[in-house]
Amino acid sequence: MFSLILLALFCILFPVFLIWLTKRYIFFKKVGAIVMAYATGILIANIGIMPRASDGYREATIGQDRPFIPKTEAVEMVAAGTLTKSDLKYNSIAVVQDSMQSALVLLAIPLILFSLNVRRWLKFSGKGFLSMLLALVSVMIIVATGYLIFRDKVEGADKVGGMLIGLYTGGSVNLASIALALKVEPNAFIMTNTYDMIVGAVVILFFITVGPAFFRLFLPPFKAPAVASGDEFDFDGMNRKMAEDFDDYTGIFKKGVVLPLLGAIGMSIVILGLGLGVSFLLPDVPQTVSVILTITTVGVAASFIRPVREIRKTFQLGMYFIVAFSIVIATRCDLSIIFQAKYLSLLMFVSYAYFGSLFLHLFLSWIFRINADDYLITTTGFVYSPPFVPMVAAALKNKDVILTGLATGMIGWILGNYIGVAFGMWLGKL
């Protein structure tokens, strides 16, 4: 029991140290708290301080598409010799891990969505939204064709396809939500995200180096948005403020910030309760699916309430929970399993989805005369999520596209859950 409590406290509190590292050192800021969280969890899972599951346990869980075995059943299986005593301890840890990762994601989603200002972004993001729609169409087409190509080579390819939709419309936030809704096996989740990070690191390096010049060879030049005379809207000021706010945890422990945040957590718990209530009214829909989509819908609706939207640091707190989730899910990653030959096909699926969607989006942007800067920034907002937008905007030497990229990423967070879950369920029926 003590070891379970210690594991839970570590996963919840260690992100404080990781975030401090990103604020203190430029190198760790570039690596990112989520990447370090995954690395920490994988290290814990594979250095021998946690028990390993037997082949019989894997067959009883992964083989039957469930995250753990009910305690009574597990005890009976140990008595029958199907499982080992070590499996019993492993199963107890799996129960805690599964409960924590579900709770962290379900609380994080409303907190992240509370800070949205959809109407303002729709008003000022201009033609970039056409580029966003083309990116969305590109991702769906490529993931669907990728599924047809790799479904016999990648285990659970339908669920992987749903996760990839989430990844390429909102990043890690949607990935976690969709994996939870579709009940993705932890090793498949980790490997999908790991391969995405590897391929994504190469692509983002291209984006911030020769990418701007390369895409300007094919697409029209950017034209600055026209602002009516006398318009008091501070376009540049909003760009700077939003770009700075994404990873700014400064003052989060001040009394004037903490108390409203506690209220926001309370609202998230209420929304979670509402999601559970809706799931009972829809018995034919998988519970996690109905809960995820309900809390996403209610979270967006709450963002239209100005007092809710203006609660400071809700986005940061939600991302903190995502970092903690990343540690928890990574502690379930067994490297002895994931580096098997069967995962090479998963790498090919991820690579096909990544590069295929980028090139199809580029082709459609050329047809619809989307300018190079809007193409690059909307791709960044979708694929890498809003925190990467300022970096690419700096490479473009164009601050006017920051808002478009941020808006695209935010809308991606909303749409990704719906489309990813629906896609994952639809692909499984093809």
For residues 269 and 292, what is the distance between their CA atoms, to the nearest angstrom? 13
pTM, whole model, 2 decimals?
0.71
- Given phi > 0 = left and psi -120 to 50 = alpha, else beta, which region is 156? left
Output the six-digit token pair for 427.
């692909």
Pair 75, 88: CB distance under 8 Å = yes
- List the beta strands (DSSP E) in 93-203: none
CB count within 10 Å of CB 31 equals 15
For residues 160 and 358, what is the distance between their CA atoms, to the nearest angstrom? 18
Output the six-digit token pair for 336.
């002895």
CB count within 10 Å of CB 25 equals 11
For residues 141 and 419, what is the distance between their CA atoms, to the nearest angstrom? 12
Output the six-digit token pair for 377.
């920034």
Within its chain, how far is the Cα of 246 from the centroid?
15
Contacts for 94-99 with beta carbons within 8 Å, 24 or more apart? 94/61, 94/67, 94/68, 94/332, 95/68, 95/71, 96/4, 96/7, 96/8, 97/67, 97/328, 97/329, 97/331, 97/332, 98/67, 98/68
Our CA dihedral for 251, 252, 255, 257, rounded to 10 degrees, sits at: 100
For residues 193 and 197, what is the distance between their CA atoms, to the nearest angstrom? 6
Specify the amino acid at residue 285: V
Q: pLDDT tens, position by position, for the chain (430 residues)?
A: 677 888 889 999 999 999 899 888 888 887 778 778 888 888 888 888 888 878 788 777 765 557 788 888 888 888 888 888 888 888 888 888 888 988 888 898 888 888 777 676 666 556 677 888 899 899 999 999 999 999 988 888 999 999 999 888 877 677 878 888 888 887 788 788 778 877 877 887 788 788 889 999 989 988 765 554 444 445 455 555 555 556 678 778 787 888 999 999 999 999 999 999 998 888 777 777 788 788 888 988 898 898 998 898 888 898 889 888 888 888 877 777 666 666 788 889 999 999 999 999 999 999 999 999 889 988 988 887 766 776 687 788 776 777 677 778 778 877 888 888 888 889 888 7
All residues at 6 or more sequence positions from 27 whose CB lies less than 8 Å from its CB, including other chains: none
Predicted pLDDT at 65: 58
Burial of 397 (0-12, 13-18, 19+ CB in 10 A): exposed
Q: 278-306: b or e for each residue (b if 16 or more CB lie within 10 Å)?
A: bbeeeeeeeebbbbbbbbbbbbbebbeee
Helix (H) or strand (E) run with residue 338 in it: helix 335-338
Predicted pLDDT at 264: 94
For residues 172 and 401, what is the distance between their CA atoms, to the nearest angstrom? 23
Query: At which residue do the structure tokens 């180096």 appear?
Result: 209
For residues 345 and 155, what is the distance between their CA atoms, to the nearest angstrom? 9
